Amino acid sequence: MFHGRKRASLSFSLFLAGAALAIPAHAEPPARVMSLNVCTDQLAMALAAPGQLVSVSFLARDPDLSPLHREAERYPVNRGMAEDVFLARPDLVVTGTYTLHNTTQLLKRLGFRVEEFSFVQTLDTIPRDIRRMGALLGREEKAEAMAADFEAGLAEVEADRCEPRPTALAYEQNGVALGKGTLADTVLAAAGFRNLAAEEGVEGMAPFPLELVVEKKPDIVIVPGGDGDAPSLGAFVPRHPALRALPATRIGAFVPRGSWSCGGPAVLEAVKALHALRREIKSCEAPPLPAPLPLEGRGKGWGSARSAPKKNSLTPCGLTPTPNPSPQGAGLSHMDFEFLIGPPPLTPPLKGEGDSEVSAPPSPLRGGVRGGGPGEAEQRLHPYAIALPQGGREPVRAAVAPPCGEAP
């Protein structure tokens, strides 16, 4: 037994010595690249030049984990072992920070060039990782175009988000949920959902009790897209009958298979799919009007009051007209007027016909008002200002109704 161990130790020492002598010289860009991690597989396959990538991990062919599983069929696979790397003799090894850590350290000691990509991935890290892989492979131009397309597509989806945001739960095998700080968390936020697991205090990946799912009744539960080649009892937890019994909860994969397992360009397809689903679930509320901005200047308008106008003043609560001299009394009458609007404490005067200055209690305006000033869409007339967006100098239109001049 003892002599056997000595022979094994001696053989391993000779292996290390031979490996150190056999390391190929570094080249720029590297001619032979090897990936040991399913996530670096995706970036390397998307960016490598023909013939540059010599091996990917065996998980690259798993459709549940790899959106490029069909492309992976063209490459030899490895299991992330030091022996695999030694035999392939790559110029560059790319891997993840948690992929067979002992192997990574051994390869570095042997002199192999190893570049590690972080296990922590979010939507923000994807463009950075794309550009970094492009720089490592000498494919900067292609990487920049890919990263820019990803950023533009993501910005387009995020610009279309609205309230209210439905609740979603990414529910994996054995009842494990994807919480705060995960790639799924940022995907859900970008698509317009609230992550139930994150709201319940889950950070990273952690068990999420089935009873809590039933209690919280999320709008959607996202489950894995397939059972794989070897289904297990844990795979049935996200499809428990108690979840199926929730009448208002949708349960399904909802995202393209493998699209958000790693931080790569394919994640954008998951964002788009969930964004489309969000649109189906709940309609968007009308966005709130912008904060009122003081409007200074002169405008013309019309409205209806319960007295024919003589000389009037526009107050925060409506129009103060002169008494109606007509025998019909307080009938609804149309009036045209000019007004000045400015910031408090200015009460814009209203000019009408006649010289009488007899005032009466305010009578609310119930109609449209047009005023000159910076604005470009439907507006609301506030007591001393008109709510309007920035930009433009088109005339504005405001609907005015009680109480106190607030629009309905």
Give the Å distances, CA to CA, from 258 to 100, 181, 250.
22, 19, 20
Residues 381 and 305 in one domain: yes
Q: pLDDT-derived band of residue 17, with 50, 70 and 90 as boundaries?
A: very low
Give the Å distances, CA to CA, from 259 to 44, 66, 231.
16, 7, 20
Domain interval for residue 261: 163-281
Q: pLDDT-derived band of residue 398, with 50, 70 and 90 as boundaries?
A: very low
Residues 223 and 251 in one domain: yes
What CA–CA distance (Å, rounded) separates 355 from 188? 65
Residues 275 and 173 in one domain: yes
Confidence at residue 25, expressed as pLDDT on a 0 to 100 scale: 44
Counted domains in the chain: 3
The answer to whether residue 407 sits within a structural domain is no
Are 137 and 44 a contacting pair, CB within 8 Å?
yes
The answer to whether residue 94 sits within a structural domain is yes
Are 373 and 299 a contacting pair, CB within 8 Å?
yes
What does the block give as tokens for 161? Answer: 């988000």
The answer to whether residue 319 sits within a structural domain is yes
HSE-CB at 364 with a 13 A cutoff on CA atoms is 16
Residues 304 and 272 in one domain: no
Confidence at residue 228, expressed as pLDDT on a 0 to 100 scale: 54
HSE-CB at 275 with a 13 A cutoff on CA atoms is 21
Q: Which of 234, 260, 281 finishes a domain?
A: 281
The answer to whether residue 235 sits within a structural domain is yes
Confidence at residue 234, expressed as pLDDT on a 0 to 100 scale: 73
The answer to whether residue 208 sits within a structural domain is yes
Q: Which residue has the higher pLDDT, 302 or 161?
A: 161
Residues 262 and 312 in one domain: no
DSSP 363-401: B---EEEEE-SS--SEEEE-SS-EE--SS----EEEEE-
Q: Which of 193-207, 230-244, 330-344 has the lowest mean pLDDT?
A: 330-344
Q: Which of 281, 310, 330 finishes a domain?
A: 281
Percent of the chain with pLDDT over 70: 62
With 80 as the cut, is the pLDDT of residue 142 above it?
yes
- Mean pLDDT computed over every residue of the chain: 74
With 90 as the cut, is the pLDDT of residue 264 above it?
yes
Where do we find the tokens 């107050």? 315
Name, in order, each residue with C-beta under 8 angstroms of 23's C-beta and a sequence gap of 6 or more: 89, 110, 111, 112
Are 143 and 131 a contacting pair, CB within 8 Å?
yes
Residues 204 and 296 in one domain: no
With 90 as the cut, is the pLDDT of residue 329 above it?
no
Confidence at residue 187, expressed as pLDDT on a 0 to 100 scale: 98
Return the sign of the alpha-carbon dihedral for residues 248, 252, 256, 261.
Answer: positive
Residues 303 and 384 in one domain: yes
What CA–CA distance (Å, rounded) separates 274 from 280? 10
CATH number at residue 174: 3.40.50.1980
Return the sign of the alpha-carbon dihedral for residues 46, 186, 228, 79.
Answer: positive
In DSSP terms, 398 is beta-bridged to 369, 379
Residues 312 and 269 in one domain: no
Q: Which of 240, 257, 281 finishes a domain?
A: 281
What CA–CA distance (Å, rounded) separates 72 from 294? 62
Determine if the peptide bond prior to 164 is cis (ω within 30°).
Answer: yes
Please state the rounded mean pLDDT for residues 93-99.
Answer: 88
Confidence at residue 227, expressed as pLDDT on a 0 to 100 scale: 57
The answer to whether residue 186 sits within a structural domain is yes
The answer to whether residue 157 sits within a structural domain is no
Residues 265 and 326 in one domain: no
The answer to whether residue 148 sits within a structural domain is no
Residues 366 and 394 in one domain: yes
Residues 52 and 91 in one domain: yes
Return the sign of the alpha-carbon dihedral for residues 152, 154, 158, 161.
Answer: positive
Residues 169 and 248 in one domain: yes
Please state the rounded mean pLDDT for residues 228-246.
Answer: 79
Indicate the length of the chain as a whole number.
408
